[in-house]
């Protein structure tokens, strides 16, 4: 795959880049290793100063980088600005919380005495250079939610970004340099996916984190496992959205539209499978379909656009195949479902009903503005449908019945349960999934500790 900016709104190639050669990769690996030896000894105060400055630089560049993201992968520019603002917020959060999150832990006196020692501590020490393999759909946020905690923990970062967002990737490297970080603290490796295996096998790279597809996760996990290196994987999602009779149905339907089409529907944590109790199914479906039909699809650089193009022609083809397969197998397409004429990789907001387990759309992730709608006789059936997926990233539950909330929290197979609201990520809360959605956690204290050497220090009596 070429390293290039191709505008998905019209298919025009705007910029192309040569992949880094072996000599440049080697130079950057050497620099990362050398920088880590010094950076790991910096104080939390100094790390926080640098990260806060990076947030300021990002705020200053918000308008420009938002347009770059929109041009590279197609998200509406208003959402791109919001993404940049969210990144600055996360950097400030980690700058203010990392020291407490990584504070030394003191075991109880009774446990120390029982161990035969006089004193003991548990420390969180950095690992070293961490390779981040990141996707195009949130080209700033996915990187910052790795980089902010990693840098605050004393690690250094190596970014292999998606090949269709090279300008964003280079901006990120420049962002940290402008903030005052030495050049080896965060480096972009402008390489194709074929170079990942050799880089991850290099002894100087101590761990890896990947957000992306299941096949990409399998490849990175396999190599890391062979090298006995720590990994965190955030892969696909096909998040369920349960609606029970006691819910505010109008509000549930309104939020459902945003939950499905955020980022043009290209989000792992976007709600994708809408599972509605039969007593309120018709009412919800009517409002949900009306909301999807009312969305403005168009040029993502226009301020009032709500849904832009998909990021690539292949992405649109894949989505179209899922819808067409469902239609041939007996599903009902309540709105959308037809490729529009004209340039760009657009696909309309689509709702598919009467889905059965045999259809591909039931098992595979729909990465675009396509929703599947299910009717459930009761909560038991709703939970069964929700869990009938290879993925388990997040979930949404709409009900005013606390017993139903407790049941869903207990039984839904997911890394998150969002009640009467839309799934979202926040630096204070752990983020990640189960099953084929990956393992490990990002964000919060759990995320910053993923790439730390948790060290026991024991003193004899």
Residues designated as active site: 234, 268
The Cα 411–Cα 390 span in angstroms is 15
Alpha-helical runs (H) found in 295-353: 313-328
Q: Where are the beta strands (DSSP E) in 258-337?
A: 271-277, 332-335
- DSSP annotation of 216 reads H
Q: Which two tokens stand for residue 74?
A: 């197609």
Q: Which of 212, 119, 125, 203 is nearest to 163 (CA)?
A: 212
The Cα 105–Cα 449 span in angstroms is 13
Print burial letters for 28-51: b (CB count within 10 Å at least 16), e (below 16). Answer: bbebbbebbeebeeeebeebbebb
Q: Which two tokens stand for residue 303?
A: 């301020």
What's the first-to-final CA gap in the chain, in angstroms?
Answer: 61
The Cα 219–Cα 238 span in angstroms is 21
The Cα 335–Cα 290 span in angstroms is 9
* Residue 111 burial class via C-beta count within 10 angstroms: exposed 0-12, middle 13-18, buried 19 and up: exposed
Identify the residue whose tokens are 């990693």: 150
Asked if residues 393 and 414 have their Cβ atoms less than 8 Å apart, the reply is: yes
Identify the residue whose tokens are 């049941």: 407
Identify the residue whose tokens are 């500790």: 449
Asked if residues 123 and 95 have their Cβ atoms less than 8 Å apart, the reply is: no
Identify the residue whose tokens are 């997911």: 414
The Cα 211–Cα 420 span in angstroms is 27
């Amino acid at each position: 795959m070429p390293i290039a900016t191709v505008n998905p709104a019209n298919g025009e190639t705007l910029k192309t880049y040569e992949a880094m050669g072996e000599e440049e990769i080697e130079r950057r690996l050497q620099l990362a290793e050398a920088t880590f030896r010094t950076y790991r000894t910096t104080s939390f105060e100094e790390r926080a100063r640098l990260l806060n400055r990076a947030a300021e630089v990002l705020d200053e560049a918000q308008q420009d980088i938002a347009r770059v993201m929109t041009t590279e992968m197609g998200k509406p520019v208003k959402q791109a600005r919001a993404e940049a603002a969210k990144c600055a917020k996360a950097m400030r959060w980690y700058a203010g919380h990392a020291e407490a999150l990584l504070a030394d832990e003191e075991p109880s006196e009774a446990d120390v005495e029982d161990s035969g020692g006089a004193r003991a501590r548990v420390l969180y020490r950095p690992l070293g250079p961490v390779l981040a393999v990141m996707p195009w759909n949130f080209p700033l946020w996915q990187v910052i939610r790795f980089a902010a905690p990693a840098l605050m923990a004393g690690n250094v970062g190596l970014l292999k970004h998606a090949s269709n967002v090279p300008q964003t990737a280079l901006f990120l490297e420049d962002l940290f340099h402008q903030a005052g970080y030495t050049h080896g603290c965060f480096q972009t490796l402008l390489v194709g996916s074929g170079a990942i295996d050799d880089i991850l096998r290099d002894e100087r790279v101590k761990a890896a984190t990947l957000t992306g597809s299941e096949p990409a996760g399998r490849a990175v996990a396999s190599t890391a496992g062979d090298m006995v290196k720590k990994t965190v994987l955030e892969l696909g999602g096909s998040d369920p959205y349960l609606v029970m009779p006691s819910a505010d149905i109008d509000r549930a339907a309104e939020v459902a539209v945003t939950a499905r089409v955020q980022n043009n529907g290209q989000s792992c944590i976007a709600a994708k499978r809408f599972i509605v109790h039969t007593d309120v199914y018709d009412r919800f479906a009517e409002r949900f379909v009306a909301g999807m039909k009312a969305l403005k699809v168009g040029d993502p650089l226009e301020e009032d656009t709500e849904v832009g193009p998909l990021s690539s022609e292949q992405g649109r083809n894949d989505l179209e195949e899922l819808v067409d397969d469902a239609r041939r197998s007996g599903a009902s397409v309540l709105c959308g479902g037809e490729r529009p004429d004209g340039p760009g990789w657009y696909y309309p907001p689509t709702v598919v009903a009467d889905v059965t387990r045999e259809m591909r759309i039931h098992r595979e992730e729909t990465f675009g503005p396509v929703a599947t709608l299910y009717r459930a006789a009761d909560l038991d059936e709703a939970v069964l449908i929700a869990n009938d997926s290879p993925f388990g990233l997040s979930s949404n539950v709409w009900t005013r019945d606390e017993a139903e909330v407790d049941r869903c929290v207990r039984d839904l197979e997911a890394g998150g349960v969002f009640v009467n609201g839309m799934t979202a990520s926040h630096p204070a809360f752990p983020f990640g999934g189960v099953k084929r959605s990956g393992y490990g956690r990002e964000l919060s204290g759990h995320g910053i500790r993923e790439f730390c050497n948790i060290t026991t220090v024991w003193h004899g009596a």
